[in-house]
Structure 1
Amino acid sequence: MSDQGRKDFTDKVSEGIKPDSQKSYLEQTKETITDAGDKAANKFTPEDQKGFGQRVGDAVKNGKDEADKETQPTLVEQVQNTAGDALEAGKEALANTSEYISGAFSGAKDGANSTKK
């Protein structure tokens, strides 16, 4: 059971089950606002003023948030990955272009040699 003024656990579970693609704009907005309020209450309410159930729920949520932070790449890592992908694509395009030009010159040379004979 959640503390007074906090988002009920059953609401959190039901919101998590339903995909965002199936929620109306109003539902998504309401969830965003109530989540922000609940997050603020989690952060600013001293532990000794929370009920046992609320402490457990907050601990689980805080643990999940920390795990999510650790598994998500930082902005720098995202930029590096994107730049690396672009570099690899550029290398591949350059290799394909080089191969095409080489084949074109080789074919032209072969064609010129066959007309001399």
Structure 2
Amino acid sequence: MSDLGRKGLGEQAQEKITPDSQKSTLEQAKEGVTSLGDRAAGAIQPEGNKSTTQKLGDATRFGGDDASNQGQGILASSQETVGNAAQSITDTFQGKK
């Protein structure tokens, strides 16, 4: 079970194991936006308020980042996610996909 406003581990896993080639552009853009929100929520939510599964998911997502670098990693990842989603939408409207 996930914390309020957070993606559950099952949803995160499903998004990761489904190849992008099997997802529509809209699905990919939605995943990017919801992942951005989940990362931001995970970064600002105090560790003491997270469920055990959310702590596990956040630790896995952040990889080996230490606490001082998490914000920078999230920012860079968020910028890339939003940029990729915007490019994907642009490509769709221009008929490239």
TM-score (norm 1): 0.52
- What pairs up with 1:31-50 in 2 under 5 angstroms? 31-50=31-50
Going by fraction, where is helix more abundant, 1 or 2? 1
Q: Specify the alignment match of 1:88 in structure 2.
A: none
Relative contact order higher in (CA < 8 Å, ≥ 6 apart): 2
**Cα distance in 2 between the residues matched to 1:49 and 1:30:** 26
Specify the structure having the higher radius of gyration (Cα). 1
Query: Which aligned segments of 4 or more residues in structure 1 are displaced greater than 4 angstroms?
Result: none
What's the C-alpha RMSD, in Å, of the aligned pairs? 1.7
Counting only pairs closer than 5 Å after superposition, residues 1-117 of structure 1 correspond to structure 2 as: 1-63=1-63
Q: Name the CA distance, whole Å, in 2 between partners of 1:17 and 1:38.
A: 18
How many pairs does the alignment contain?
66
Q: TM-score, normalised by structure 2?
A: 0.62
Any stretches of 5+ residues in structure 2 without a counterpart?
A: 67-97
Aligned letter for 1:51?
A: S
- In structure 1, stretches of 5+ residues that fail to align are 67-117
